Structure 1
Amino acid sequence: MAVPEAVRRLKAFIAAHGIEIAIDAPDPELGGFDGVVLVVSAPQNPALRITVFDEYGDARPDNPALCLALLNMQFRELGDAGGEMGRWAIAEGLDPEMAATQRVFGQNEAARAAFLAAYGPTPDVVSDLDWQLNAGPAQALRGL
């Protein structure tokens, strides 16, 4: 996908739904991980809190398109886990036995379902490899 098209799709999704994204601190019981909480809100919809794992420190309140891409990445991880908390926890580098891990997984699963019901699927425009290599759409989003 062309870089400008990827950015345009994310921005269009945000504008179409009137989405605003704020950033909050994660559950302190998760430990020193790179988690942040994205608070997604829009008119006529309740605010949703989703913990994402921002390995590269990308989440910024002034860059909602990048935050939406991070949100999509978390939704992919949840989908890949197939409802299995242990699989998700291991993929995120968390201890599946910790109560905080279990709590955040449940909150993320519920928020994901509510988000999809309210807004539909997010544009999936940044591959994992693009994130890791800071290439293509990832680089363009980081530069906004």
Structure 2
Amino acid sequence: MAPPEAVRRLRAFLAEHGLEIAVGPADSDLGGIDAVVLIVSAPQRPDLRITLFDEYGDARPDNPALCLALLNMQFRELSDAGGEVTRWATAEGLDPAAAKAQTAFAQNEAAHAAFLAAYGPIPDVVSDLDWQINAGPAQALRAW
């Protein structure tokens, strides 16, 4: 059986850029109980580290397409925050005044800019509603 369109598009993006995604623990002092770090690697490029909040436990190293979709969701969160740490931290359930939250935000902003400059935008194949109700592309990505 062929993978669904969302899976194909994300896999094609990974292959086109030679991207690999590893999953690591986030700083335990950050305060987010579901925080993880995605480490994006590609040949002849510096690694990028992005902290995200994986409330459904989806970040799995054996499913890079799903990790790429999670990364895209974090990048959308950053864009929604409009460069304001308070908006981002509040949306993520963090204390905006905490130094660790401010550091994570600054690192994510820098990684987002570097990712876009190197690879362009990630295909946006999963809506927030699909994530929440585990429907359509979200369900397909979780199954592959």
**Same fold flag (TM > 0.5):** yes
CA distance in 2, matches of 1:27, 1:105: 13
Instruction: Report the identity percentage.
Output: 77
CA distance in 1, matches of 2:31, 2:122: 29
Unpaired runs of 5+ in structure 1?
none
Partner of 1:15: 15
- Residue 44 (str. 1) matches residue 44 (str. 2): yes
TM-score (norm. length: structure 1): 0.96
CA distance in 2, matches of 1:127, 1:52: 17
How large is the Cα RMSD of the aligned pairs?
Answer: 1.0
TM-score (norm. length: structure 2): 0.96
Q: Which runs of 4+ in 1 moved over 6 A?
A: none
Partner of 2:67: 67
- Counterpart residue type for residue 99 of structure 1: A
Q: How many residue pairs end up in the alignment?
A: 142
TM superposition shift of 1:32 = 4.7
**Aligned residue runs from structure 1 range 55-94, under 5 A:** 55-94=55-94
CA distance in 2, matches of 1:30, 1:112: 19
Residues 81 and 88, structure 2, Cα contact 8 Å, conserved in 1: yes
- Counterpart residue type for residue 4 of structure 1: P
Deviations 1:38-60 (Å, cap 9, x if unpaired)? Answer: 00000011100000110100000
CA distance in 2, matches of 1:114, 1:28: 25
CA distance in 1, matches of 2:142, 2:21: 16
- Secondary structure of the residue that 1:30 maps to in structure 2? coil
Q: Which moved more, 1:85-94 or 1:29-38?
A: 29-38
- Counterpart residue type for residue 135 of structure 1: A
Partner of 1:4: 4
CA distance in 2, matches of 1:42, 1:123: 18
- Counterpart residue type for residue 28 of structure 2: P
CA distance in 2, matches of 1:44, 1:124: 26
Unpaired runs of 5+ in structure 2?
none
- Counterpart residue type for residue 115 of structure 1: F
Deviations 1:60-106 (Å, cap 9, x if unpaired)? Answer: 00000000000000000000000000000111111101100000000
Partner of 2:134: 134
TM superposition shift of 1:33 = 1.9
Residues 77 and 88, structure 2, Cα contact 8 Å, conserved in 1: yes
- Secondary structure of the residue that 1:69 maps to in structure 2? helix
TM superposition shift of 1:31 = 2.4
